[in-house]
């Protein structure tokens, strides 16, 4: 893997990150952590840990205080144990990269909606566990899930109205805001959740994104027995969205 050079605090460092992720089929937070590195061309290596195999604690023990995925180590060995901390650290270390939009107003909104995703939407996250193997057919969302979707659509529409362009992404160029909402697009797809045409267009952009296509391709090689988060519903194939 090639390495890039970056100047941080007046020092030149060879920048290679290590990202620890869980099962790609189910771990939405792992997807976020991986996209932060993959989508912005930052050199990294991936380490899989047994999120559902019960081996995660042992496999993360050497990077305490990490207890969950994703976790990330910097080239110096600094440990980041939370996706939002990872995002803010990458922004700090790579100020010339547009991880957040450069425009101050857009940057403030992007940061805010990332934080709201990180801490909110409990009904959507709790009642619609992330899963990207197939689509559940006939899922009925609760009022709480529908309320979460309405708020998400409000945020997406606001970002696009104020700062969007002809690009499909929320702030024109792909940013950390899109990273944080990528698993939301997956949940909307998996559970056939009702959204507006504009929101569905944004969801489809994530489904076509080459990085996600690669992630899901690797996910489909995983074997899970028993299957986490079973549902008493029929299923159908994941939609094919070619770029």
The pLDDT assigned to 3 comes to 39
In whole angstroms, what is the distance from residue 43 CA to residue 231 CA?
Answer: 38
Residue among 165, 177, 181 nearest 29 (CA)? 181
Q: Judge if 14 and 64 occupy the same domain.
A: yes
- Range of the structural domain that residue 185 is part of: 104-236
Q: Which two tokens mark 107? A: 């940057």
Q: Judge if 79 and 139 occupy the same domain.
A: no
Bridge partners, residue 19, by sequence: 46, 72
Give domain status of residue 202, yes or no: yes
Q: Judge if 84 and 108 occupy the same domain.
A: no
CA 228, chain centre distance (Å): 19
- The model's pLDDT over 88-127, given as tens digits with 9 standing for 90+, comes to 999 999 999 999 999 999 999 999 999 999 999 999 999 9
Helix (H) or strand (E) holding 48: strand 44-48
The pLDDT assigned to 5 comes to 38
Q: Judge if 81 and 114 occupy the same domain.
A: no
| Domain edge (last residue) among 93, 124, 146 | 93
Q: Judge if 211 and 138 occupy the same domain.
A: yes
Q: Judge if 28 and 136 occupy the same domain.
A: no
DSSP class of 103? S
Ranges under pLDDT 70 in the chain: 1-14, 241-243
The pLDDT assigned to 14 comes to 58
pTM, entire model:
0.92
Report the CATH number that the domain containing residue 20 is assigned in CATH.
Answer: 3.40.30.10
The pLDDT assigned to 136 comes to 97
Convert 229-240 to b/e letters by CB count within 10 Å (16 or more is b): eeeeeeeeebee
Burial, 221: exposed, middle or buried (Cβ in 10 Å; 0-12, 13-18, 19+)?
exposed
Q: Judge if 85 and 121 occupy the same domain.
A: no
């Amino acid at each position: 893997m090639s390495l890039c050079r970056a100047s941080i605090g007046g020092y030149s460092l060879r920048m290679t990150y290590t990202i620890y992720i869980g099962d790609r089929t189910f771990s939405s937070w792992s997807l976020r952590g991986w996209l932060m590195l993959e989508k912005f061309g930052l050199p990294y290596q991936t380490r899989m840990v047994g999120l559902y195999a019960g081996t995660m604690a042992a496999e993360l023990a050497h990077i305490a205080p990490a207890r969950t995925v994703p976790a990330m180590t910097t080239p110096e060995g600094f440990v980041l144990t939370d996706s939002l901390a990872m995002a803010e650290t990458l922004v700090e270390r790579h100020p010339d990269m547009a991880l957040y939009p450069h425009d101050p107003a857009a940057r403030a909104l992007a940061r805010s909606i990332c934080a709201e995703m990180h801490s909110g939407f409990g009904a959507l996250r709790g009642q619609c566990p992330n899963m990207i193997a197939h689509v559940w057919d006939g899922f009925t969302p609760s009022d709480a899930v529908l309320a979460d979707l309405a708020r998400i659509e409000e945020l997406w529409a606001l970002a696009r109205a104020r700062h969007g362009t002809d690009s499909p992404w929320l702030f024109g160029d792909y940013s950390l805001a899109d990273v944080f909402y990528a698993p939301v697009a997956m949940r909307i797809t998996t559970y056939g959740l009702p959204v507006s045409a504009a929101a569905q267009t944004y969801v489809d952009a994530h489904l076509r994104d080459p990085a996600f296509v690669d992630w899901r391709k690797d996910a489909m090689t995983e074997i899970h027995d028993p299957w986490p988060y079973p549902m008493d519903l029929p299923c159908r194939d994941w939609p094919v969205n070619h770029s």
